[in-house]
Amino acid sequence: MNNVKRSEIAEVIYDDVMLMTETVEMDRGERVEMMVDIYDSADTVRYHDLRTNTERHQPLQHTGSVSVKNRKHRAVEVCLCLVCVLLLTAVMMLCVYFTTERNQLLNHINNLTEEREQIKKKNDELQRGICKQDQRADNFKWTYYNFSCYYISSEKKSWSDSRRDCQQRRADLVIINSKEEQEFLQKVVGNDHFWIGLKKTEKVWKWIDGTTITKGYWKDQSQSSGCALMTSSGWEALPCWPSYGRKYICKRIILKSA
């Protein structure tokens, strides 16, 4: 009887122990599961915080790079502005320099022109004075025109004798170099005829200095004779015979001023 009771008590105790063991194991399993859940939650929180921090720092880095680029762009703009200012300043200085130089050059040219005109005027007066001296010596037969003195004869000679007389007066028979000179002499001769320094040699009309005429002022187209005469209406041709005496025009060229 006692043995049966002991056996029953032992079984009850064993059952209780097993129950307690299972309970402990269940509690331990629940703890392990709870610890796993806690660690999982912690990892999730850490991952979320890490991701949040990463996302938070990324805009800061992007903002920093944008700021660096803006500073670079501003530096380039400032440099370009400085270069433009320097170029503008250089252009303005060059304009001022060249304007000043131009004004000085124009003033210098004007001064030289005035001095040249004064020298020309004095030289012209001197040359007129020379012609006037010849006029007094030759009964006012000399006249002045464009840096030359002209002797207008009143006596008649052959063409050769006329030239010889001009040479004795430190001149020669007139050579006409321009239309203006031709018109001037046409007014001087009036209605008379005067030998000029033009002669036909070997069927060619040449001036006494050996040059061939390039333009003639002939009165008509018939120039078969050998020496030329000046008239108020143009040139005429006449044989160079010694018996043909005419008045004549001598010309003395006065050295022009520079």
Q: Which residue has the higher pLDDT, 62 or 119?
A: 119
For residue range 215-227, list pLDDT tens digits in order. Answer: 889 988 767 789 9
pLDDT of 38 reads 44
Q: Which residues contact 243 (CB under 8 A, 6 or more apart)?
A: 158
3-state DSSP call for residue 226?
Answer: coil
pLDDT above 50 for 45: no
In the chain, which ranges are E strands?
142-145, 148-152, 172-173, 194-201, 204-207, 227-231, 234-238, 247-253
pLDDT above 60 for 67: yes
Q: Which two tokens stand for residue 174?
A: 């007139």
Calculated CA dihedral for residues 80, 85, 89, 90, nearest 10 degrees: 0
pLDDT of 14 reads 55
∠ CA 240-245-246, rounded to 5°:
100
For residue range 138-154, list pLDDT tens digits in order. Answer: 666 888 998 899 999 99
3-state DSSP call for residue 228?
Answer: strand
